[in-house]
Structure 1
């Protein structure tokens, strides 16, 4: 990737505030200069290159067009009615909100993506409101979430495996009660709650998992405690086996005017209607099978791997964690691999390390997937992004997993929040600034003032990413340029840039899905299944 670098101009303050305590003063060091990197460009239809995804989509459309999108919807009768009204609405222009400076008129789905949009779903599945109400009010949170998810997952799985016609994706219309009561730490009052047939505390359920009860009903109820009590994550995990792609939408998002408070205002704070349309439909287009844009200047033959770690829900193994890998190509295409489950968690909180064998296996699987997409040609470069520093066994394994002729570079990316840079005046620092500490370490401002937008799309003082080359010979400037480019391929929304590279942006979310149920499929699946 090409990167424009030059010394920071004189209007930038040289006040760097480190929240560290120095035991004794250091000797004077040569002043370091800030580097600026050009804003990465995106590729749209007709090979046009622009910085802003909204500009590119409005003027040129995506690089490749879908021939229509067929979708299904599942929800309560009210939810389906609200969804159909919203689906008809986004076929037309949605005006910008004059009270919101960042709001931009949404021209309509077909105008943006050059793809036919049916305002009626191909498949409709209704969830019985009474049955849903009985499940979502269960006092045991694990049974409550498990049983509620089953009302949505079972019909989708049955349709995918047994019925026609097929659809590209499913809209899951989530009632507000499900959203509020089917998440971790959700609580329902005794007055509203419904006691399950088998009442179990979490500790009792764990005891039954070790020593099963004579009655199967109690054992079945106990097994539900192995599932994460989070509706979104558990539903996504259960649908990986049948490879159903979903887009979850809250009823309050698509029909906000039906949910008003006593003052006649929307019951929850949310983005304006035009911004909601931009973000939701961009994700829908990607999940339906095509990318709304691709990176323009990134090099061919490059493979990026983001490592994911998440402790499992196994109460008997405190250090047990699942490792996953997200592979991304220069086109923005992504594939998720479920790695091995093992004792990867260390005594240090938030730190995980693989064995040499498992580290080798992850890189080998990613390289094999790359070759399948590129006429059996391996990548020239592999970059591994992680939050924890790689140890010797991991580095040795990563290198062994790559074929001869493929270079491997390991990058640690953190957001430590121990460095602030202030600009003279009222504007935030520029996005794309970098403070090079040495040849392997730098602070990178992936968020900041964007001249094209004439604003900083944030609230707090921008915090830089701390980038460290742990192993490998790639130049630091190239690593920074790549990371900035990877902040522009979050296809789950339509924004100018994200604060983190896509290799790590969804690491926590993917980890949650990979550990949400005991038996998640190990089959590599496209990244869109996890969004």
Structure 2
């Protein structure tokens, strides 16, 4: 983009406030939860029902951590070698005090897996088969519980030995793994005369190759249909001191215990309660935000692409809609929906908003990483009712071409923006945060490049668009962070798409966003 010759105006967007219990607001989710509790705080702590699947050791590790979460977890004092800025860290007050939920560890529903069975499954020569059978070890325990037991479970926790993380992901090197031949030829990478799995998996003889060999994505895809939320935890996250190298140091560098406690408790709350722990405060009524998701379908000879939409409201929680598969990838490596597919997707968004609020939205902001072509945009605009404005916004990360400094040497304030014109601006969603008195980052932060590309009616002010994006960086409920660098509409687009293109997610119904993370 050509810069204007005149000086460029700069803006500072105040840190967006979040709302907690009793209508109280605070910019920091940890402070808000510590002082007030979740924004839908009940009068009495709600007891959640937790199911755990793992090895005997893994179940024990999680139970120990669950007991820790019921008490205060302190930020450890800095060591002699750890002199990094620690102002963003905070003590964890206990899950009932911060989130108003509780549980009895002795009441956890636990299903144990034999470690040798996990080792055997992850060692299969064909990685597709290895991942599918490893997923089946965990999923079968849940399916059997649903079939045989009356006790409902609010969230399933899968505790993973490190070999699952190392062997059950795409492009895993799997060096030193004793390869077992299994039922598939080791050279087979796609559908081709695949044998039956003899009832071990809920898939047809060749469908195993429709799933990318990734444990995390396959679990999320399967559980979309089962209707359960899941939380996956590595054993090395729970007890890093138990896994050391020859020098006696932990094999993995993990976060401090208090931060792990905050993140784990946030996930348990978000995945068991109807509303998220906090919401954006002061959002204009009648506004919703839609993140477009495109992902190439693996093992599809037509080179088709799956399209979906993530819708987020002021309450913060999201819903994912699966759109049509089709030839949405263009010759210039951008993605554009056909008219019918675009119209259908937007109609689903409007219907879901109306279902929740009993009225049509006033504004729909569509966030994406590419442009919108004419046919696609006309279909979006025609699908919304009269009186609803649709705005198309492109949000792109930058690679360091533009830098902004404070006082010549210090990182720029988070919320700083350089406005190029009434439709384009650079926005720093990372930077020095006065509320924390620190900058959380290893290097000079890079901005997002924000462009307001299309609007059904009058174009909104660029300042308002930037303010909304800042707010959307604060509703990642998969962790308890002060902020993310990307708005939630864009940040999770790849992860949502990765799940939706799995063969095991085919025909999955509309599910809340919490099922995907």
TM range (shorter): over 0.9
TM-score (normalised: structure 1): 0.90
Count residues in correspondence: 498
Q: In 2, Cα distance between the equivalents of 1:323 and 1:74?
A: 33
Which residue in 2 is equivalent to 1:313? 298
Following the alignment from structure 2 to structure 1, what is the Cα–Cα distance between the partners of residues 131 and 205?
Answer: 12
- Aligned partner of 1:490 in structure 2 is 476
Q: Which residue of 2 aligns with 1:88?
A: 67
**Counterpart in 2 of 1:388?**
370
Give matches, 1:498-509, under 5 Å: 498-509=484-495
Q: Is the 8 A contact 1:280 1:493 kept in 2?
A: yes
Q: How does 1:160-309 map to 2 (within 5 A)?
A: 160-189=146-175, 192-203=178-189, 205-206=190-191, 208=192, 212=193, 216=196, 222-289=206-273, 290-309=275-294
TM-score norm. by structure 2 comes to 0.92
The verdict on how the C-alpha distance between 1:187 and 1:233 changes in structure 2, with shifts beyond 3 A counting, is same
Per the alignment, in what secondary structure is the counterpart of residue 385 of structure 1? Answer: strand
Deviation at 1:515, TM superposition (A): 1.1
The separation in 2 between residues aligned to 1:333 and 1:455, in whole angstroms, is: 28
Decide whether aligned partners of structure 1 residues 404 and 200 sit closer, same or farther in structure 2, where only a CA change above 3 A counts: same
1:49 aligns with 2:19: no
Aligned-pair CA distance for 1:155:
1.9
Q: Secondary structure at the match of 2:433?
A: coil
Give SS of 1:184's match.
Answer: coil
What do residues 429-473 of structure 1 show as CA deviations (whole Å, max 9, x unaligned)?
001111111111111111111011111111121111111111112
Check the 8 A contact 2:221/2:504 in 1, yes or no.
no
Supply the distance in 1 between the matched residues of 2:147 and 2:381 (Cα, whole angstroms).
41
Whole-Å separation in 2 of the counterparts to 1:114 and 1:518: 35
Q: 1:137, CA displacement in angstroms?
A: 0.7
For the 8 Å contact 1:135–1:147, the answer to whether it is kept is yes
**Matching of residue 31 in structure 1 with residue 16 in structure 2:** no
Q: Deviations over 1:293-315 (max 9, x none)?
A: 11111111111100001111124
Deviation of the 1:518 alpha carbon: 5.0
In structure 2, distance between residues paired with 1:162 and 1:368: 37
- Per-residue CA deviation, residues 107-163 of structure 1 (Å, 9 max, x unaligned), is 111111122232335311112222222101112111111111111112213323552
What is the distance in 2 between the residues matched to 1:445 and 1:217?
Answer: 51
Contact 1:160 1:242 in 2 (8 A): no
Query: Could you tell me how far 1:62 is from its partner in structure 2?
Result: 0.7
Provide closer, same or farther for how the CA distance between residues 262 and 368 of structure 1 changes in structure 2, counting only shifts above 3 A. same
Distance 1:140 1:463, change over 3 A: same
Change in 2 beyond 3 A, CA 1:191/1:106: closer
The answer (yes or no) to whether the contact 1:364–1:401 under 8 Å persists in 2 is: yes
Higher mean C-alpha displacement, 114-123 vs 268-277: 114-123
Once the 2 structures are TM-superposed, how far is the Cα of residue 57 of structure 1 from its aligned partner?
A: 0.6
Q: Does the aligned pair in 2 maintain the 1:241–1:520 contact within 8 Å?
A: no
Cα deviations across residues 12-55 of structure 1 (Å, max 9, x unaligned)?
xxxxxxxx9x9xxx9x8221121111110011111111111111
Structure 1 unpaired stretches of 5+: 1-19
C-alpha contact (below 8 Å) 1:44/1:62 kept by paired residues: yes
User: Residue 468 of structure 1 corresponds to which residue in structure 2?
Assistant: 451
8 A contact 1:71–1:167 mirrored in 2: yes
Are 2:331 and 1:347 aligned?
Answer: yes
The SS at the match of 1:202 is: coil
Q: Is the 8 A contact 1:305 1:384 kept in 2?
A: yes
- Output one character per residue of 1:230-265: Cα deviation in whole Å (capped at 9) or x when no partner: 000011101110111000000011111211222222
Distance in 2 between the 1:220 and 1:117 partners?
39
Q: Look up the match of 1:15.
A: none
Structure 2: 5+ residue stretches without partners: 79-83
Runs (4+) of structure 1 exceeding 6 A deviation are none
Asked if the contact 1:143–1:221 (Cα under 8 Å) also holds between the matched residues in 2, the reply is no
Q: Distance in 1 between matches of 2:134 and 2:197?
A: 18
Partner of 2:41: 65
* 8 Å Cα contact 2:166/2:174 also seen in 1: no
CA shift in 2, pair 1:530/1:191, >3 Å: closer
Which residue does 2:391 correspond to in 1? 409
Q: CA RMSD in A?
A: 1.9
CA distance in 2, matches of 1:287, 1:480: 29
Q: Which residue does the alignment assign to 1:448?
A: 431
Contact 2:129–2:184 (Cα < 8 Å) also in 1: no
The C-alpha deviation readout for 1:271-313, integer Å capped at 9, x for no partner, is: 1111111112112111111311111111111111000011111
Kept after mapping to 2: 8 A contact 1:484/1:501: yes
Displacement of 1:521 in angstroms is: 3.3
- Counterpart CA distance in 2 for 1:126 and 1:94 is 28
The reply on whether 1:98 has 2:93 as its aligned counterpart is: no
Conserved 8 A contact 1:87-1:120: no
1: CA distance between counterparts of 2:508 and 2:58? 33
Q: Distance in 2 between matches of 1:170 and 1:518?
A: 19
